[in-house]
Amino acid sequence: MPHVTVPARRTATALIPDGTKDVLPHEWALREHLRRELGQVFAAWGYQGVELPALEYADSRHPLDTRAFKLIDTGGQVLALRSEFTTALGRLVQTRYAGGPFPLRLQYGGRLWLRAQTSELGRLREFTQVGAELIGVASVEADVELLALARASLDAVKINADLEVGFPGFVDAVLEDAGLHGAARDDLHDAIDRKSGADIDLYAAAHGLSHSVTRILHSLTDLYGGPEVLDEAEKMAQGARAKAAVQHLREVAARCPFALLFDLGVSRRYGYYTGITFRAYVGGLNQPVLGGGRYELAGGLPGAGFAMGLERLTRALPPGIPPQPEVVLALDLEAAAAARNAGLIAELAWTADRAALREYAAQRGIKRWLSGPNMQEVQA
CATH number of the domain encompassing residue 172: 3.30.930.10
Q: What does the pLDDT read at residue 286?
A: 86
Residues 197 and 212 in one domain: yes
Residues 155 and 177 in one domain: no
Question: What tens digit of pLDDT does each residue of 179-218 get?
Answer: 888 888 888 888 898 889 999 999 889 888 889 889 988 9
Residues 46 and 102 in one domain: yes
Question: What tens digit of pLDDT does each residue of 326-361 get?
Answer: 999 999 999 999 999 999 999 999 999 999 999 999
Residues 315 and 359 in one domain: no
Q: Which residues contact 226 (CB under 8 A, 6 or more apart)?
A: 259, 260, 261, 262
Residues 148 and 235 in one domain: no
Residues 137 and 25 in one domain: yes
Q: What does the pLDDT read at residue 240?
A: 96
pTM over the 0.85 mark:
yes
Q: Is 300 within a domain?
A: yes
Residues 51 and 88 in one domain: yes
Q: What does the pLDDT read at residue 234?
A: 94
Q: What is the mean pLDDT of the chain?
A: 91
Q: Is 372 within a domain?
A: yes
Residues 229 and 194 in one domain: yes
User: What φ, ψ does residue 295 adopt, rounded to 5°?
Assistant: -150, 180
Q: Is 190 within a domain?
A: yes
Say which residue, 286 or 270, is predicted with more confidence. Answer: 286
Q: What confidence category does residue 134 fall into, taking pLDDT thresholds of 50, 70 and 90? A: very high
| Structural domain range at position 331 | 327-377
Taking the CA atoms of 309, 311, 314 and 316 in sequence, report the sign of the dihedral they define: negative
Q: Say if CB 131 and CB 108 are below 8 A apart.
A: yes
What type of residue is 226? Answer: G
Q: What total number of domains does the chain contain?
A: 3
Question: What tens digit of pLDDT does each residue of 93-124 get?
Answer: 999 999 999 999 999 999 999 997 665 445 78
Percent of the chain, pLDDT > 70? 95
Residues 362 and 238 in one domain: no
Q: What does the pLDDT read at residue 121?
A: 47
- CA nearest to 109, candidates 153, 155, 52: 52
Angle at 111 between CA 109 and CA 115, to 5 degrees: 145
Q: Say if CB 239 and CB 173 are below 8 A apart.
A: yes
